[in-house]
């Protein structure tokens, strides 16, 4: 792609977010899951934009759309820039997506300015950060990090399609998933730009922040089993009401996490058989538990299990627990955090804010491959996210683009590869 094409602007980045938002499996909101037709569609769009930015592009063996922009000479180790293109149900249009498009836009500027760096730059559009389809998250970035777990092949979606079947249906070879892994010797670090998904930048009236660390997360699928029965005929003292039991657990989850300074959510709960005049014999519900340290997170998990045991004993219920996701807390690399801070300072904010991320990100997986750092971008309306009202301003996107580009250039200043 010739250098005389002007680089993409912040407004064009937002327009691209709107184009990607239209690729949804739902006609009432944005939903785009791993290895779906919508995933294939956004990969093709990202590939086009990567090509226009001067990246050579390919889809890797795990369905991630990737691009490479060579440095001063071909084959140099690469700085990775990326985020994810998949979404939660009824999602906003910037979670993950803005980070991918900012990464492409930074390379587009390098192209237009004919800048050749002492390292290559690779852009990664991960196919599954949320875990919406198969329950286990970070599948795309874990493939790149080389930490794919073969036990995942038997995970299945709500229609009973296994991850293995979904791979084949998408045109991927499950046996080749290892080809998606990057070698640590081929990368020099990972930078991710992402909306904050919280209220602190808006409260501080700042556009950007450096991320200090990302909360460790564990997810569980729990089933409480009691005894269904007639809503009128069964007296209270004879009941084994799974929904009443689950309700006690849900409130205990909130109380225990809040008291301990962790954060926990029951986002999905279903009672069976589900009749309005039938005592619930079974309840299936989710638990998403996070904390700044894995020790705190696991201490809260133990306290929650103690409450579950007490409720089950008192109400005559049985509880089955399946852990569906576990990602340790990760701390950003100081050297990369400082280039992100340099990037923010280059935009005129001379005392960059630092934030701890309670939201999970692909950097948690890429941390197994290389050093990482993140740039947070303000998103308005209290930082609402995982919601259609998710919003960013074109001004903040422009500032984020300047900061992200400046961070890459600051890294190039300090980085000297022996053969570059
Ligand atoms: O759940 C999270 O924190 C992320 O959005 N996947
Ligand atoms: Mn998300
Ligand atoms: Mn995200």
- Please state the atom number of ligand 1 nearest to the C-alpha of residue 95: 5
The response to whether residue 360 sits with its C-beta less than 6 Å from ligand 1 reads yes
Q: Which two tokens stand for residue 40?
A: 């294939």
Is residue 32 domain-shared with residue 180, that is, in the same domain?
yes
Q: What rounded mean pLDDT belongs to the chain?
A: 96
Residue 321: name the closest of 289, 278, 367 by CA: 289
Residue 2, in any domain of the structure: no
For residue 264, give its domain range.
216-327
Is residue 206 domain-shared with residue 352, that is, in the same domain?
yes
Task: Catalogue the E-assigned strands of 73-215.
Answer: 78-84, 120-126, 187-195, 208-214
The response to whether residue 359 sits with its C-beta less than 6 Å from ligand 1 reads yes
Residue 165's SS3 state is helix
Is residue 207 domain-shared with residue 344, that is, in the same domain?
yes
**Cis-peptide into 187, omega within 30 deg:** no
- Please state the atom number of ligand 1 nearest to the C-alpha of residue 137: 6
Is residue 207 domain-shared with residue 281, that is, in the same domain?
no
Residue 227: name the closest of 279, 283, 285, 275 by CA: 279
Alpha-carbon torsion angle 113, 117, 123, 129, nearest 10: -120
* Residue to probe by mutation, ligand 1, list 86, 91, 291, 361, most atoms within 8 Å of CB: 361
Percent of the chain's residues with pLDDT above 90: 97
The response to whether residue 130 sits with its C-beta less than 6 Å from ligand 1 reads yes
Output the pLDDT for position 5.
Answer: 87
Q: Whose CA is nearest to atom 6 of ligand 1?
A: 130
Q: Which two tokens stand for residue 163?
A: 């991850």
pLDDT beneath 70: ranges in the chain? 1-3, 416-420
The response to whether residue 86 sits with its C-beta less than 6 Å from ligand 1 reads no
Is residue 187 domain-shared with residue 288, that is, in the same domain?
no
Output the pLDDT for position 32.
Answer: 98
Output the pLDDT for position 3.
Answer: 61
Output the pLDDT for position 420.
Answer: 45
The answer to whether the CB of 282 falls within 8 A of the CB of 247 is no
- Domain with residue 228: its CATH number is 3.30.70.360
Number of structural domains in the chain: 2
Helical segments of 22-181, H only? 37-52, 97-112, 139-145, 163-170
Give CA 358 to chain center in angstroms.
11
pTM (two decimals): 0.92
Q: How far is CA 173 from CA 66, 119, 385, in A?
A: 17, 31, 34
The response to whether residue 38 sits with its C-beta less than 6 Å from ligand 1 reads no
Q: Which two tokens stand for residue 257?
A: 């996490």
Q: What is the distance in A from the centroid of ligand 2 to the CA of 95? A: 6
Tracing tokens 């009749």 back to the chain, one arrives at: 275
């Amino acid at each position: 792609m010739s250098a005389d094409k002007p680089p993409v602007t912040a407004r064009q980045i937002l327009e691209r977010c709107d184009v990607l938002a239209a690729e949804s499996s739902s006609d009432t909101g944005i939903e785009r899951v791993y290895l779906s037709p919508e995933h294939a569609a956004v990969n093709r769009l990202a590939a086009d934009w990567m090509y226009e930015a001067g990246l050579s592009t390919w889809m890797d063996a795990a369905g991630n759309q990737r691009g490479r922009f060579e440095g001063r000479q071909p084959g140099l180790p690469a700085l990775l820039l990326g985020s994810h293109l998949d979404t939660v149900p009824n999602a906003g249009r910037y979670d993950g997506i803005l980070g991918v498009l900012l990464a492409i836009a930074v390379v587009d500027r390098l192209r237009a300015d004919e800048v050749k760096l002492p390292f290559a730059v690779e852009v990664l559009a991960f196919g599954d950060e949320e875990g919406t389809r198969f329950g286990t998250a970070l599948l795309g970035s874990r493939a790149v990090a080389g930490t794919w777990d073969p036990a995942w092949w038997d995970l299945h979606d709500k229609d009973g399609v296994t991850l293995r079947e979904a791979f084949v249906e998408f045109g991927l070879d499950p046996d080749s998933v290892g080809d998606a892994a990057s070698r640590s010797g081929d990368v020099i670090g990972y930078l991710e730009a992402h909306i904050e998904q919280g209220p602190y930048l808006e409260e501080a009236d700042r556009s950007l922040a450096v991320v200090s660390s990302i909360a460790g997360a564990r997810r569980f699928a729990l089933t409480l089993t009691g005894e269904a029965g007639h809503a009128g005929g069964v007296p209270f003292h004879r009941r084994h009401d799974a929904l009443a039991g689950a309700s006690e657990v849900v409130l205990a989850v909130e109380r225990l996490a809040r008291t301990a300074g962790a954060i926990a959510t029951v986002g999905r709960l279903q009672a069976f058989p589900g009749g309005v005049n039938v005592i619930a014999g079974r309840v299936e519900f989710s638990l998403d538990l996070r904390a700044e340290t894995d020790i705190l997170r696991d201490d809260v998990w133990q306290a929650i299990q103690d409450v579950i045991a007490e409720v089950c004993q008192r109400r005559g219920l049985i509880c089955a627990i399946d852990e569906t996701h576990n990602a340790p807390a990760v701390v950003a690399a100081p050297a990369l955090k400082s280039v992100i801070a340099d990037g923010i300072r280059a935009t005129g904010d001379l005392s960059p804010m630092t934030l701890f991320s309670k939201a999970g990100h692909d950097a948690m997986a890429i941390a197994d491959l290389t050093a990482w750092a993140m740039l947070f971008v303000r998103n308005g309306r209290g930082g609402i996210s995982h919601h259609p009202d998710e919003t960013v301003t074109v001004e903040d996107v422009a500032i984020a683009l300047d900061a992200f580009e400046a961070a890459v250039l600051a890294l190039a200043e300090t980085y000297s590869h022996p053969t570059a």
